[in-house]
Structure formats: C-alpha cells, structure tokens
A and B are shown apart, each in its own frame.
Chain A
Amino acid sequence: MLDTTTPPTGAATPRTIDARGSYCPGPLMELIRAIRESQVGDTLAVLSSDNGSRSDIPKWVEKAGHRLIGVTARDGYDEIVVEKLR
C-alpha cells in the first residue's frame, strides 16, 4: 500500500512518498508518478523497504536528469531524496 503526503506550499520539507511494503518497481513507479505531478525545483523523499530501490532509483534519477540529494538508511527502510530539475 502506498501513501503520499504533500507539505503546505512553500514548505521546505520534501513531499514524502511512502512506498514501504511495495516491491520493485513499485517505489520507482511511485516516484515517477510524483515527479510528473511536481514542479521544477520541488524535492521528493521516497521511503522504500525494497533493497532494489537503493540502486534503481539513483540510476533512474541520473538518466532522467534530476538530482539525487541523498540516500539515508532508516529503521528498516531507505529514504531517497530527489530534486526535480527539469
């Protein structure tokens, strides 16, 4: 099950895409959906418990011309933060 929350306009915190419990390519597909809905300059944080996301998402971010801000290991999942550049 997937859950997304959007912070108030102008907030510094990234939009969070909670894809924990989803399996490859679910988290990547959720990020792609969110990127399509976002504006250039927005940051998005994907939460994923699927190990494949650690490599799949950064590879996609590079190919798609966005910026990988960071990959952080949390308690049982990874937080991958991306900035939309174009």
Chain B
Amino acid sequence: MNRILVLGGGVGGTLTANLLARKLGRQLKAGTAAITVVDTTGEHVYQPGFMYIAMGGERAANLHRPERGLLDKRVNLVVGTVTGIDEKTRVVELADGSALRYDQLVLATGSRIVPESIEHFATEAYHFYSAEAAGDLRAALDRFKGGRIVVGIAGMPYKCPPAPLEVSFLIESELRDRGLRDKTTIDFCSPIGRAFTIESVSEMATPILAEKGIELHTFFNVEAIDPERKVVLSLEGEELPYDLLILVPPHKGQQFLMDSGLAPAPGGWLPTDRETLRVGGRPDVYALGDATDLPLSKAGSTAHFEAPVVTEQIAAAVLGREPAGKHAEYHGKVMCFFEIGDGKGTLLQFDYTHPPKPPRPNRLWHLGKIVFNKTYWHTVPKGRI
C-alpha cells in the first residue's frame, strides 16, 4: 500500500491530489495506493479574490467552496488541524489526537500572516490578506475623504508580490473617479532598492507610479507604527505620516513545520529543491506553493505549475520508474496577471532562467484576470488548465 498524504487543501494540495488520482487510477482501484488530503477547515478559499473585496465588486461568499466538491471522488478528505509530523514513524499527528500514516508526504501548507508581530498593526493598519481584513479596508476607503495614504510591506516574503502595487494603482484610479485625488497623497514603500523584486517588472511599474503621482520610497522596511503621531517608521530611519495606512502583514510558514524540524525558524519556510521539489533531500517529502523557500512568488500560480511536478515525482516512485516527461522537473514557471488601474492590466510570465517581459498594459489582460477569477473553480483545482 502506498499511502500518499497531502497536507493542505489550497491550490497546490487540491490539484496535486486530483492529478495523482488520475495518474494512479489503477492502483487506487486495486487498493494498492490511497490519497488523503488533510485540511484545517474543509473549505477551499480563493485568496486572490480578497484584493477585489477591498477594491469593490467582490463578496467574501463567492470566494470559498467546500473542498470535498473540488476533490476527485477517489481522494479521501480529512478535516483537522495538523500539530506535528514524526518522520521516524512516518506519522502526521492531528489536534484531535488521531494520527495518519504516510509513505509519500506532500506539504502544501501555505503561509500565514502574523500582523501581531508589529505593535499597533491591528489598530492602525489595514490589509487585504483575509476576507474580513479586506472588507475592513473597503469600509475605510468608503469613509476616506482625502488625506495621506501610505501603502507598505511589513515583511518579506509575502503572498502575491504584485498585490501592494496593484492596490496602489487601483486606489489611485478609484480616488480620481471619486474626485478625491487632488485631496490625497499616496506613498508606496518598497523594502528593497526598487519598486519590485524582479528588475523588469520594476522597470515597468516605476514610470506608472510616477505617471499616477504615487511617490516611491525605496529601502523602507517597516519597523514600527506610532499611533499617537500617526506615522509609520522604517528601519532605515525614515518616517511617513498617514491618514490611511495599508500594510502587507509579515508572513511565516506553519509553526508545526518548525516544531517538527522540517523548516527552520524563524521564517518556517521549507528548504525545497528547486527542480524536484523534495524537502531537505528527503526522498518521500515534497513541498509546493507558499510553504517552500524557493526564490519565487508566493502565489497560487506557482503552486499551480508545481503540482504536476510533485505528481509526476510521486507517481514515478509509486510505479517504480524514473520521473519522465515535461513535468519530471520544475523549471520555475509562474504566470500571473497584474492590475494597473483604469481597467488595464498586464501579464507576468517567467521561470528560473527567463525573467518576465510584461506586455504594454491594456484592457485585455485586466479582463483576463477577471475571467480567470470567475472560472477558477471549474479549471485550476480540477487540473483542466
């Protein structure tokens, strides 16, 4: 019996489980293999939609569906919280005291936000990394009548790297439509020496920031928030006053991965082979999506393109052959849409050796993102694209 255990029912975990069910159909039928997904809530959440709650037009209710309905019928689903992994006995422990054995383990455990690691974040800063927080930001924008908006990043790495730039562009566009733009300043703070980590994207985004009158502050690593003076302070010694503060919260990997010795503290990102996606040289443990330490976007798209590789690696092990075909190894493929505002967008497509060459922003790529968001449930988790 080959017991394949997938921890996490997000994009990466769900797609990997469904692709494995297809590749190992004969073994599943014969009872020589079993696939089980463990998910904390049993609800699959489409996180890229959170930004659209904040920017209007999207409702939280549209962004989650039961995981069971997205999984192949041959895949088992366990709803529970993982508390530990014992590698010696190949057992995953759950909070309810139960234990699940594995022969092949897939860690699709995502990332978590830790806004509490910055004092006054909860009371002073808005963000869009949960449905609730995005709704709060929407309400704050609705109340906003002009003033100083600061958009910043309070820790790297974080989910969906283009998102803070997109939010800046979309807010600028919205405020122009509402007649508030000339009463508002917008500051965009980047932790590094340019607007975006990837140089070609930075070269595209920097002139757009200038055109829109959004001031770029580089090397601004958020250190503290002073609620009395309403300023955000950087490690580099700068401070910016705000009336509306929007910060990407710090992110971490899952605590149980650090506690189990699979991921180093304090970040908790899994040391992952960039081609095989094996964790720390282990022959039977794989990681994908946000949970890895790979130098790639933490985004559903990354998990989407990693899942076929993890599937092929595991299927090959179960079938007693070498990984083969175009998904034998991962080459760093990522593809995502990038909103510019005013109904325009562009596309970022890249891999380990080919940086993105974003096309000139137009309406097509914006519409592409909207269509992708709406059709996600029928395409990505089921492996149709």
Contact = CB atoms under 8 A, between A and B. Distances in A.
Interface of A: 1-2, 22-26, 28-29, 32, 35-36, 56, 59-60, 63-65, 86
Given A1-B271, A23-B295, A59-B219, A29 B235 contact: no
B187 interface: no
Contacts, number: 40
Contact of B193 (A32, A59, A86): A59
A5 to B, nearest CB: 13
Contact of B192 (A23, A36, A56, A86): A56
Contacts of A2: 264, 293
Interface string B203-245: 0000000000000001101000000000000011100000000
A29 B191 contact: yes
B197 interface: yes
Nearest to A3: B264
A63 to B, nearest CB: 5
Given A1-B293, A63-B219, A64-B219, A25 B237 contact: no
Nearest to B271: A1
B156 interface: yes
Interface string B95-126: 00000000000000000000000000000000
Contact of B295 (A22, A56, A63): A22
B237 A56 contact: no
B295 A65 contact: no
Prevailing SS type, chain B contact patch = loop
A86 B264 CA distance: 28
A60 B264 CA distance: 26
Contacts of A28: 192
Nearest to B220: A63
A36 B235 contact: yes
Given A25-B191, A28-B192, A32-B221, A63 B293 contact: no
Given A24-B197, A25-B197, A59-B219, A64 B192 contact: no
Contacts of A59: 193, 219
Nearest to B296: A23
Nearest to B198: A24
B259 to A, nearest CB: 19
Interface in B66-106: none
Contacts of B219: 59-60, 63-64
Contacts of A1: 271, 293
B140 to A, nearest CB: 29
Nearest to B218: A63
Given A23-B295, A25-B156, A59-B193, 13 more contacts: A1-B271, A25-B192, A25-B197, A28-B192, A32-B221, A36-B235, A56-B193, A60-B192, A60-B193, A60-B219, A64-B236, A65-B237, A86-B237
A25 B157 CA distance: 9
A64 B193 CA distance: 12
Given A1-B271, A25-B192, A64-B219, A32 B235 contact: yes
Contacts of B197: 24-25
**7 pairs of A and B residues whose beta carbons are closest in the complex:** A23-B295, A64-B236, A63-B219, A25-B192, A1-B271, A63-B236, A29-B156
Contacts of B264: 2
B250 to A, nearest CB: 11
Contacts of A23: 295
A21 B171 CA distance: 37
Contact of A26 (B193, B271, B295): B295
A26 B192 CA distance: 10
